[in-house]
Structure 1
């Protein structure tokens, strides 16, 4: 055995011992759960992707309706997609899985996903911040947070000093001003420069193809569309074959590692998502998250975000106190993102407890089952939904 390999083996052994002391679980095992039901290409696609990831040393727990025997793969039997999601949450809660990959999750406001794609012009990995979820209902605040979420994800995945660019969408210039202020106050952001002749932090469409920035900042709806295009442009759109999916849900205080893939995702992409999850676990993403937020707050992040909130329309509705908290399991879809918090306040004013969230198709109001009918009637009457 060469000296280099010996040193690597010793390092891996010490890492595994440290991980076991901390978690009681072998570092080589950090199992990743994946829900199989709901794929447009059938459960078999998920099972095959799990086998591909398992061949690369990843321990995978498939939550599905059919049995399979393969090394490094365990099947957790369920009979429905809903049961599968409940089982996934339960496994994460009980630490039976360290991370999960799934096709839908109602992240709370404040959490959004950071996707990773492979750009066609340069074959480089690029992080899209963000691709689903809502970091804030204030657009500029959301994009500022997205930049930090992107940096966290890239660093946890092994990019030591990720460069950051802002896609030229609505709010890009205000976001640039805020991030420049954060940098001036001491937060170490490495800004990218556009490949176009005039350069600058604000990126053009060309920069998406060439990956001019490691982290590309944008709103989540734009990020969602771009992820679909980068993932399926070689297949005509039916099958997402390239990249790593919509990525992990990142947000301060959100401790579950849940990565999103599309129902149209194919075997290569789902395998990539499982690998992405393992990279984040190996990179101790929660520690990276805590460190980055500590540094950003020291540089005045909260004050900058408060300024964004104060600039929002001052004619907002009078603050309404929330009714007693209930378990919310039902979703009401079809509400515009900018109306989401007002819709929740409207229900609170009517004595109905509700929460805002983000589903796979857009913003949702989360409601208890026994209030669902009445809540729909109120939101329809107030023109929040059709």
Structure 2
């Protein structure tokens, strides 16, 4: 038996044991939730995908309006998309499931998703780092973190020495310099080489098609477009038929395994996302995340990021402290990503506790329900929103 297969068996055994101790349920269970309401192709598509995953031995709990019974498949009935998301969070918190696949989640700043696609020219798996969420409001800092998030995801899924390339977008050269510095300081990062004649770790469009890199680094908006394109280019765009979705939300301190798919994702992609979630769990991705950031910090990551931030903020903003923390459930949309932290600070200055986040349509400011209208008024007066 190979070492990889043995490690997978051991990881699965420990997860099964943890589930039994926490819930009292025995059996081959590493349950994964899937929310069904909201798909452009109807709930039937989600249930069909869940059933296909269940046939492969994965325990799936579908949160939706239909009661479907099958081996390894359980229905959790709700009446709305909002209720479904609340139920998903509750099940994750209670360890009724260890991961979830859903079409929307407001990740906090610092967390973004690493997608996985199948490249058309070579039929290879490639990790897009990242595809939704925002690792940092500073573009280059975000791309540096995206590279580490991509490495974490690839390693958790069994790619022991992933090759990292940087897509030729704004900030690519600064990101290259920073990653080279990490490598020089001892961080074990392996760089890909472009398939074009001049090589180098800056990747071109051709490299996306041929998977010249295992991990392709970019900003999340570019990654989101590419994920859609590579998932739906064979169908005309309305049905995502290839790949594994937009991937898991990765970030330090974020412990929920939440996999994002699109409302346009079809059966193969939803099924792939469930399989992707199981791989992440068996690969102990949280342990990999901790180890990679520990090694990166030893190589000077914090100093490199501090250099990027120096001189960017006004002293007056630094002097404003957050009000007492409270539960924030309401989203205010329409804020430019570069203004997001300033908007939060503005509300703090007015005595309103707020947090930054990323919704499915872009950046959001999160506030308590009782502060929603006042916060909107302040942000409108200050020209953060229309």
- The alignment's TM-score, normalised by the length of structure 2, stands at 0.95
Partner of 1:69: 69
- Superposed structure 1 runs of 4+ greater than 6 Å apart: 7-13
2:375 pairs with 1:379: no
Partner of 2:276: 276
SS in structure 2 at match of 1:24? helix
Q: How does 1:237-386 map to 2 (within 5 A)?
A: 237-310=237-310, 312=312, 317-386=317-386
Looking at structure 2, the residues matched to 316 and 225 of structure 1 have their Cα atoms a distance apart, in angstroms, of 37
Looking at structure 2, the residues matched to 190 and 331 of structure 1 have their Cα atoms a distance apart, in angstroms, of 39
Q: What is the CA deviation profile of residues 150-186 of structure 1, one whole-angstrom value per residue up to 9, with x for unaligned ones?
A: 0000000111110000011111010000000000111
Looking at structure 1, the residues matched to 202 and 307 of structure 2 have their Cα atoms a distance apart, in angstroms, of 21
1:316–1:158: structure 2 CA closer, same or farther, 3 Å change rule?
farther
1:330–1:166: structure 2 CA closer, same or farther, 3 Å change rule?
same
Q: What is the CA deviation profile of residues 52-98 of structure 1, one whole-angstrom value per residue up to 9, with x for unaligned ones?
A: 00011110000011111111000011111111101000100010000
Looking at structure 1, the residues matched to 17 and 266 of structure 2 have their Cα atoms a distance apart, in angstroms, of 37
Looking at structure 1, the residues matched to 162 and 260 of structure 2 have their Cα atoms a distance apart, in angstroms, of 22
Number of aligned positions between the proteins: 382
1:18–1:261: structure 2 CA closer, same or farther, 3 Å change rule?
closer
Q: What is the CA deviation profile of residues 21-78 of structure 1, one whole-angstrom value per residue up to 9, with x for unaligned ones?
A: 4553668310000111111111111100000000111100000111111110000111
CA contact (8 A) 2:16 2:28 kept: no
Gaps (5+ residues) in structure 1? none
Looking at structure 1, the residues matched to 4 and 111 of structure 2 have their Cα atoms a distance apart, in angstroms, of 36
Q: How does 1:2-41 map to 2 (within 5 A)?
A: 16-24=12-20, 28-41=28-41
Question: 1:8 Cα deviation (Å)?
Answer: 10
Output the aligned Cα RMSD. 2.0
Partner of 1:145: 145
Looking at structure 1, the residues matched to 107 and 150 of structure 2 have their Cα atoms a distance apart, in angstroms, of 17
Looking at structure 2, the residues matched to 152 and 160 of structure 1 have their Cα atoms a distance apart, in angstroms, of 10
